[in-house]
Amino acid sequence: MNTMKALVCREFGPPQDVVALQDAAPAPRVGMDEVLIEVHYATVSHATGLLIEGRYQKTPPLPFVPGTEGVGRVLACGGNVGHVRPGDLVAFICDWGAYGEQIVVHGATVYPIAAGLDALQALAVPISYGTAYAALHWRAQLRQGDTVLVLGAGSGVGAAAVELARLVEGVTVIACASSAHKRQAALQGGAHHAVGPDGLIGQVKQLTQGRGADLVFDPVGGDLLLQALRCTAQNGKIVSIGFASGTIPQVPMNILLVKNLTVFGFFYGQYIGWTPANERVKYAAQMQAMMAELFALARRGAIHPAVTQVFPMDQLCQALSALHGRNVVGKVALAIKGDIP
């Protein structure tokens, strides 16, 4: 192809002002460790908006094509790539570029989708479910019998954390979400209890007979985390994965001291090449094994990854508005090439 359709960001700023659908140069020829993919769907997240505004951890060179996660068909593989081949249906994570009809991605972050799994189901897995799984198991060492408080349980990553924590024997999941609709969705996703952010401390203390939660999963930050600190059990743990509230909390160290709490920071980007050290190859085997496990769980119905809204490629701003309105449960996507034959 001489050109391809892509959403191109010309400068950093509000998406409605700086992003346009246009003809762009096709994806480059694949290197030895790379995979050329025809993109059918790509996710939209809060990170998408931050990337376009120039406020994310990584700053791409201008102009660039946004989008960090997608699904599609493999068109070509470099000589060192052996786990996928042309024609395979795959999910992928990239630095940016998913909002174009084709993309070249390092093979370390290309994941074969299990047979029988719907492409839009698979699309919801790599970042949301991958982040939740790695934060709960690799970083916070979730244990049998723990009580887990999931903040932001209506978000894609929060919903994933509810489902994955629920799979561990003896774990009790308390989901915190901002609306009745999201709380109901969390209960349907396996949460034992669902609470609102108002009066969080009292609600959690009541549900745990005054003891508090053993582990807090926090993608929200802000005042909600400060409340969660006060309803965390003695010797409890908090794993912070982001600040969707827009506010980075100032954690009172006296509470950590007297309750003997451990706070973990968790950045999923370390495992997928989003740090200056670019360690995607180092963690490739670990990531591939986790993705295979997550796809297998989805295929047999143990988890239920879902894209709940799909927008046309030229409606990125509407997709971001839907996210920012906080009425969405689960993931939002753009149709790039659309349905996969």
How sure is the predictor about 131, in pLDDT bands with cuts at 50, 70 and 90? very high
Over residues 310-337, mean pLDDT:
89
Per cent of the chain over pLDDT 70 is 99
How sure is the predictor about 341, in pLDDT bands with cuts at 50, 70 and 90? low
Q: With left for phi above 0 and alpha for psi between -120 and 50, is residue 36 left, alpha or beta?
A: beta
Over residues 315-340, mean pLDDT:
86
What pLDDT, in 10s, does the model give residues 241-294? 998 888 889 999 999 999 999 999 999 999 999 999 999 999 999 999 999 999
What ranges do the domains of the chain cover?
A: 4-126+272-335, 141-265
β-pair type (69-77, 34-44) = antiparallel
pLDDT for position 327: 67
Average pLDDT, rounded, for the chain: 95
How sure is the predictor about 338, in pLDDT bands with cuts at 50, 70 and 90? confident
Cα separation, 271 vs 249, whole angstroms:
25
pLDDT for position 324: 79
pLDDT for position 81: 98
pLDDT for position 1: 64
Over residues 33-57, mean pLDDT:
92
pLDDT for position 244: 83
What is the CATH number assigned to the segment(s) 141-265? 3.90.180.10
How sure is the predictor about 329, in pLDDT bands with cuts at 50, 70 and 90? confident
CB 225 within 8 A of CB 161: no
Which of these, 212, 296, 218, 220, lies nearest to 255 by C-alpha position?
A: 212
Q: What are phi and psi of 165, to 5 degrees?
A: -65, -35
CB 179 within 8 A of CB 153: no
Contacts of 35 (CB under 8 A, 6+ apart): 74, 76, 77, 78, 81, 84, 90, 92, 104, 105, 106, 107, 110
pLDDT for position 220: 94
What pLDDT, in 10s, does the model give residues 146-197? 999 999 999 899 999 999 999 999 999 999 999 999 999 999 999 999 999 9
Looking at CATH, the fold of the domain delimited by 4-126+272-335 is given as Quinone Oxidoreductase; Chain A, domain 1 (3.90.180)
CB 76 within 8 A of CB 107: no
Say if residue 112's pLDDT is above 70.
Answer: yes
